Amino acid sequence: MPAREALAQKPMPMDASNSSARRLHAVPEPEEEAHADAPAPIALPPTREGQRVQLQDRLDAHLRKGRARVVLTDNVHTMLTVKRGQGLWTFRMHHLFVGAPSPIVRALARYAEDKDREASELLRQFIDANERKIRSQRKIRGVAIDVEGKFHNLQSIFDDLNTRYFDDSIRARITWGPRGKRKRRRSSIRLGSYTVEDELIRIHPVLDAVDVPEWFVAWIVYHEMLHEVHDMPVVDGRRIYHTREFREAEARFERYAECVMWERANLERLLTR
């Protein structure tokens, strides 16, 4: 999997330039300001959506009886399924197929259209070889994952959103941030963040409270999940984390207006926790 290995080997800057943060400020300030001192733009690895489209295009080149639709999953139990419908071949496949060599992409097409046994055998070998790599990589990148919470389980919130809004395609992991003791009154708080190189969403533990509605936690999680899907283009030397497309997708959240209002009404309370 060239793409994934390149990601692991290439050192990425560890500051705000490759993590995007959702902040609440007591005094509003334009969010790009926070990134103004970021180093010169560095090409980010392609987003999940970019990888998906690329794979889809590569498959299209080999299909004769229909077009490809690719859904990337993180499901290690079903690495690959192909379904035909409405002139589309829907490939649901594990992200290990991202950046697969050409013979594998051709085999995928032959497997779908011709039920080719040789192709199927080649794919099985490819999956076996890469599955082991994925499992060991996941362990090396060990971050203590804490999803349980006292009041909100982040994994179940994440899984529900993933199904409802993302066709189960988001592969980031999620955790509560460290539960340290607060020293003084905050002037701003980062309720959630998404780090590209770790593919990790962190949610601030102040939200793990009985008086924070589950749908508000879901809203923060949803925002961070969108970062996996949306590009972060550099415009005039600055990385744009929240593009117009991002904001439009954000507004499609079921309780969007309610969440924005709740945030406004409760900001002060969260800052003093």
Which residues sit at the interface with Zn ion, rule CB under 5 A?
20, 22
Q: How far is the CB of 39 from Zn ion (least distance, A)?
A: 19
| Closer Cβ to Zn ion, 156 or 243, answer by number | 243
Please report which residue ranges of the chain form alpha helices under DSSP H: 2-9, 48-60, 102-114, 117-140, 154-166, 214-229, 244-250, 256-271
Q: Output 22 or 106, the one with its CB closest to Zn ion.
A: 22
Q: How far is the CB of 167 from Zn ion (least distance, A)?
A: 21
Nearer to Zn ion, 58 or 230 (CB): 230
For the bound state, the minimum distance from the C-beta of residue 186 to Zn ion, rounded and expressed in Å, comes to 18
Contacts 24+ apart (CB under 8 A), 46-53: 46/3, 47/228, 47/229, 47/230, 47/231, 47/232, 48/72, 48/95, 48/169, 48/170, 48/171, 48/228, 48/229, 49/229, 49/230, 49/231, 50/231, 51/3, 51/95, 51/98, 51/99, 52/98, 52/169
Nearer to Zn ion among residue 105 and residue 249 (C-beta): 249
CB of 166 to Zn ion, least distance (A): 16
* Pair of tokens at residue 267: 């900001």
Burial of 184 (0-12, 13-18, 19+ CB in 10 A): exposed
- Residue 270 is given by DSSP the state H
Compute the least distance from the CB of residue 253 to Zn ion, in Å.
Answer: 13
Q: Which is nearer to Zn ion, 212 or 221 (CB)?
A: 221
Which CB atom, from 22 or from 152, has the smaller least distance to Zn ion? 22
Q: How far is the CB of 125 from Zn ion (least distance, A)?
A: 40
**Least distance in Å: CB of 22 to Zn ion?**
5
**From CA 243, how far away is CA 249, in angstroms rounded?**
10
Is the CB of 150 or the CB of 247 nearer to Zn ion? 247
DSSP secondary structure string for all residues of 188-229: EEEEEEEETTTTEEEE-GGG-STTS-HHHHHHHHHHHHHHHH
